[in-house]
A = this chain, B = another copy of it.
Amino acid sequence: MNGARSLVETLVAAGVDTCFANPGTSEMHFVAALDQHAGIRCVLGLQENVVTGMADGYYRIAGKPACTLLHCGPGLANGLANLHNARRARSGIVNIVGDQATYHRPHDPPLTADTEGFARGVSGWVRASMRSADVGRDAAAAVQAARSYPGQVATLILPADASWDEGGITAQPLPVPAAQPLDPHAVEQAARVLRAKGGKVLLLLAGAAVQAEGQALAWRIAQATGAQVLADFVNPKVARGRGRLQLERVPYKSELAMKALAGFEHIVLVNAKAPVGFFAYPGLPSIQYPPEAQLHVLSRPEQDALVALRALVEALHAPEAALPDPGPRPQPASGEPTSDKLAQTVAALMPEHAIVSDESVSYGRGFYKSSHVAPPHDWLHLAGGAIGDGLPVATGAAIAAGGQRRVIGLQADGSAMYSLQSLWTQAREKLPVTTILLNNRSYNILVGEYKGVGATPGPTAMRMLDLGDPGLSFVKLAEGMGVEAARATTMEECADLMRSSFGREGPFVIELMV
* Residues of A bordering B, CB below 8 Å: 21, 23-26, 28-29, 31-32, 34-36, 42, 44, 46-47, 49, 72-75, 77-78, 80-81, 84-85, 88, 100-101, 103-104, 107-111, 113-114, 117-118, 120-122, 160-161, 164, 234, 273, 276-280, 282, 286-287, 383-386, 388, 414, 417-418, 421, 424, 427-428, 446, 449-450, 452-461, 463-464, 467, 469-477, 479-482
Contact = CB atoms under 8 A, between A and B. Distances in A.
A46 B443 CA distance: 10
Nearest to A467: B46
A109 B287 CA distance: 10
Contact of A287 (B77, B107, B287, B476): B107
Contacts of A480: 472-477, 480
Given A160-B279, A477-B476, A479-B476, A84 B80 contact: no
Given A111-B385, A470-B482, 6 more contacts: A31-B461, A32-B455, A46-B414, A75-B81, A113-B122, A470-B481
A-B residue pairs, 10 tightest by C-beta:
A470-B482, A35-B458, A74-B386, A476-B480, A477-B480, A114-B121, A101-B280, A111-B385, A104-B280, A77-B80
A90 to B, nearest CB: 12
A36 B457 CA distance: 10
A461 B4 CA distance: 14
Interface core residue of A31, A454, A476 (most chain B CB under 10 Å): A31
Given A21-B464, A164-B454, A278 B477 contact: no
A188 B480 CA distance: 59
Interface core residue of A21, A109, A164, A428 (most chain B CB under 10 Å): A109
Contact of A113 (B34, B84, B474): B84
13 contacts: A32-B458, A42-B463, A44-B464, A49-B78, A74-B85, A74-B385, A104-B279, A109-B385, A113-B121, A164-B455, A471-B482, A473-B479, A473-B480
Nearest to A115: B121
A414 B72 CA distance: 17
Contacts of A73: 84, 121
Given A47-B418, A476-B477, A453 B104 contact: no
Given A46-B417, A446-B23, A460 B31 contact: yes
B479 A160 contact: no
A139 to B, nearest CB: 19
Contacts of A479: 473, 476
Contacts of A35: 456-461
Contacts of A273: 108
A453 B111 CA distance: 17
A160 B286 CA distance: 13
A455 B31 contact: yes
Nearest to A40: B460
A66 to B, nearest CB: 15
Contacts of A85: 74
A25 B444 CA distance: 11
A479 to B, nearest CB: 5
Contacts of A428: 469-470
A95 B364 CA distance: 32
A114 B117 CA distance: 10
Contacts of A164: 282, 453-455
Contacts of A122: 113
B36 A386 contact: no
A104 B286 contact: yes
A277 B461 contact: no
A110 B460 contact: no
A121 B25 CA distance: 22
A252 to B, nearest CB: 11
Contacts of A32: 450, 455-458, 461
Nearest to A413: B46
A456 B34 CA distance: 11
Nearest to A42: B460
Contacts of A424: 417, 470, 472
A121 B118 contact: yes
Contacts of A482: 470-472
